Structure 1
Amino acid sequence: MLGGALLLTMVAAQVATGLHPQPIRLTSTVVLLLAAGALAFATTAHTFPRAVAAFGAVVATGYAAEWIGVRTGLPFGDYGYSGLLWPQLGGVPVIVALAWGGMGLAAHATAAAVAPESRAGRLALGALALTAWDLFLDPQMIRLNLWTWHDPGPYRGVPVGNFAGWLLVSLLVMALVDHLVADPAARSTGLVSIYTVMAAMETIGFAAVFDPPDPLVATAGGISMGLFALLAWRRGWRGHRDR
């Protein structure tokens, strides 16, 4: 019930983000609700201690990757954060690490719903599912001037190498979650719902809410994240029908 309430509140905050003149503050609120909701749903699926361990490991991994990234350009490319997101530790906004944690759990659960019997499948699909989210995330954060690329690339200013870095870090994230949760193949409808809601809301935002709209990002991100969400729900419906 807590996870569901947090998910509904997150949706309301996302709607407000498109209507309210303070999108940065509301974006941070969405991430906090995302992280809290993911932790609540993961607790139901894997027990509280294991959920906290998995969430904490992903947050720490995401923070470390960002901390290294802003100093060395690896693994994402040469970029830097503005001073708009606070608090920051070592030049990395804390909210960014929490976003890694929330969506890391959601992407792993989505992959586990698609390939519950295969650890390799969960890791690969989870890494791709999490990287698909960045097709939305980077263009949106660039719009808000939350970070900048020193050498802009072809995808709305994002270098192609950034996605290779995301895939690498996401693979590590999936391995950590798969190792730490009680049952890596356990289905969490709540976490899959978080992933699905993020896919839908970001698609709607880029297609019709943001000013100006961006059909390219809406299409690229919507198809990529939507495919993983669709596969997860399809596998779940099939399993329920077979029972």
Structure 2
Amino acid sequence: MALGPARALGVLSLLAMVGLQVASGLAARPERFTGLIVALLAASAVAFAAGAWGTRRALAAFGAAVLTGYAAEVVGVLTGFPFGEYAYSDVLWPQVGGVPVVVAMAWGGMGLAAYAVAATLFGGWARVCAGAAALTAWDLFLDPQMVRLGLWTWAADDGFYRGIPLSNFAGWLLVSALVMLVVGRVAGDAAPGRGLLAVYTVMAVMETIAFAAVFDPTDPLVAAAGGITMGAFAAPAWRRSWQR
């Protein structure tokens, strides 16, 4: 069956993102690729959401997730709540209120993908909880990678997971739950579609490979922690989607 324009854009954006992730893993300064990778992630997620929900609803859901994530980051930078004490470097730009714009876009893109995973499996409050956990699972990759690239720093580097404090993951669960609520409010009962499942799965696979075999030095612990946790959401979501 032929792809519609939105889904075709989603596939092209996702493939371009994969290509850039490969290039960044081989580059001397991989942080230079971060902004464009996030932009392609967001474009792919919005395109797939548009194919499933319609363009207006997809843009509204993405915008709501972006604003929720951005507000949480601004509060976090200013007060240390809910993630803990941290600060962004000047590598990612532009920044508004001390928060890089691409960080807010990442909340939106992966927020839609994690919502789709949860919505494929559950309804109601179980969907909110599963989506929050699925999005937080991504941070098992994200924080170690971004800290090693110098994109942000923690006030204390003695956290239990690669120097990252437990408060960070508690904060992610809280903010991710809010993201699930606002996305669900916009998406309603519309089916999430398999495109967003692909976005979530591709991120899980690429990050696992990167930490296991590409980054110098490699980090098998992060590869296993992130890969197993994200896989625990992606695998049953795919199984359920094919059963429908």
Q: Secondary structure at the match of 1:145?
A: coil
Letter paired with 1:99: A
Aligned positions of 1:7-26 closer than 5 A: 7-26=14-33
For residue 139 of structure 2, the aligned residue among 134, 139, 144 is 134
Q: Is this contact kept in 1: 2:53–2:192, CA < 8 A? A: no
Q: Is this contact kept in 2: 1:46–1:182, CA < 8 A? A: no
For residue 95 of structure 1, the aligned residue among 102, 109, 132 is 102
Q: How many Å separate the matches in 2 of 1:76 and 1:90?
A: 17
Runs of 4+ residues deviating >3 angstroms: none
Match of 2:118 in 1: 111
Give how far 1:182 is off: 4.5
Match of 1:166 in 2: 172
Task: Please state if 1:32 is matched with 2:32.
Answer: no
Q: How many Å separate the matches in 1 of 2:226 and 2:31?
A: 21
Letter paired with 2:137: A
Q: TM-score, normalised by structure 1?
A: 0.95
Q: How many Å separate the matches in 2 of 1:216 and 1:97?
A: 27
Letter paired with 1:36: A
Task: Please state if 1:154 is matched with 2:160.
Answer: yes
Match of 2:129 in 1: 124
Q: Secondary structure at the match of 2:153?
A: strand
Q: RMSD in angstroms over aligned alpha carbons?
A: 0.9
Once the two structures are superposed, residues 185-221 of structure 1 have per-residue CA deviations (whole angstroms, 9 ceiling, x without a partner) of x031100000000000000000000000000100000
Give how far 1:22 is off: 2.7
Alignment gaps of 5+ in structure 1: none
Q: Secondary structure at the match of 1:55?
A: helix
Match of 2:225 in 1: 220
Q: Is this contact kept in 2: 1:55–1:102, CA < 8 A? A: yes
Q: Secondary structure at the match of 2:93?
A: coil
Alignment gaps of 5+ in structure 2: 1-7
Match of 1:44 in 2: 51
What percent identity do the matched residue pairs reach?
63
Q: How many Å separate the matches in 2 of 1:27 and 1:151?
A: 24
Q: TM-score, normalised by structure 2?
A: 0.95
Q: Is this contact kept in 1: 2:49–2:192, CA < 8 A? A: no
Q: Secondary structure at the match of 1:85?
A: coil
Q: Secondary structure at the match of 2:81?
A: coil
Between the two proteins, the alignment pairs up a number of residues equal to 236
Give how far 1:237 is off: 2.1
Q: Secondary structure at the match of 1:148?
A: strand
Q: Is this contact kept in 2: 1:46–1:183, CA < 8 A? A: no
Once the two structures are superposed, residues 121-142 of structure 1 have per-residue CA deviations (whole angstroms, 9 ceiling, x without a partner) of 2111100000000000000000
